[in-house]
Amino acid sequence: MLSKQQMQTASDALWDLWHQGRRIAALPSQIRPTTREEGYAIQALLEARSVHPLYGWKIAATSAAGQRHIGVEGPLAGRLLRERVLDSGAKVALGANHMKVAEPEFAFRMARTLPSRATPYELDEVIAAVETLHPAIELPDSRYDDFAQVGAAQLIADNACAHYFVLGPAAPDHWRFEDLAQHTVTGTVTGKPSRVGNGENVLGDPRIALTWLANELSRLGIALAAAEVVTTGTCVVPLAVEPADHVVADFGALGKVELHFSP
């Protein structure tokens, strides 16, 4: 088991890489996490870096294709920091982003806290704790040269490939009566063919993904807090992006969210 100092050193290294736009092959062996629990313990040290309360959570690899893409066998949770959250229509520099993709996602804002507990949460009680549904776009990135080779523990330590997140306006309340698994989402990058997906690509249903996140946090002794936002993973094959692109994720009756990249 890594010591607290080793975990802090690993967190510091990943933070510096993130903010300097650099990458490494892997964390040095003496500070490298070997279990998901060690990865999450390193990731948790990010919260002290933010001047704001934790904004929420992201889920990576909620589809079989996504799991193959980053070389893992199941979903991973990461933290959303307020400093990295953008409003729909914002402009951001792609910079040194290694992944260069935008991901249309269903996001949920919580109305009440789901505390850690011994028994798993059921889907219905998790959804009952939700305030609003939002269309969203995630712009992920990795601090590793080959993110498909480093394994789940290092990816979790690296905040599950978090980078920027764009939250769209709240969807109409009728979302609660929609079949989100079959709900169509269209992702478009200016000048390129659109891609179409649906909620079934997110662990079978975005609500299932949200329930997974609540239980993953509960297992770690962490509450999913009121007002936090959870983005549930891409429901469309990730959209390749370049500087000056304009990305639109159209969720039909549930709304639209967009992002501009500066030249």
Residue range(s) defining the domain that contains residue 215: 4-261
What is the count of structural domains for the chain? 1
Q: What is the pLDDT of residues 4-22, one digit of tens each?
A: 999 999 999 999 999 999 9
Print the SS3 string covering the chain.
CCCHHHHHHHHHHHHHHHHHCCCECCCCHHHCCCCHHHHHHHHHHHHHHCCCCCCEEEEECCCHHHHHHHCCCCCEEEEECHHHEEECCCEECCCCCCCCEEEEEEEEEECCCECCCCCCCCHHHHHHCEEEEEEEEEECCCCECCCCCCCHHHHHHCHHHCCEEEECCCCCHHHHHCCHHHCEEEEEECCCCCEEEEHHHCCCCHHHHHHHHHHHHHHCCCCECCCCEEEEEECCCCEECCCCCEEEEECHHHCEEEEEECC
Q: What is the pLDDT of residues 160-175, one digit of tens each?
A: 999 999 999 999 999 9
Question: Going residue by residue through the chain (263 aa), what tens digit of pLDDT does each one get?
Answer: 999 999 999 999 999 999 999 999 999 999 999 999 999 999 999 999 999 999 999 999 998 778 887 889 899 999 999 999 999 999 999 999 999 999 999 999 999 999 999 999 999 999 999 999 999 999 999 999 999 999 999 999 999 999 999 999 999 999 999 999 999 999 999 999 999 999 999 999 999 999 999 999 999 999 999 999 999 999 999 999 999 999 999 999 999 999 999 99
Find the CATH number of the domain harbouring 178: 3.90.850.10
pTM exceeding 0.95? yes
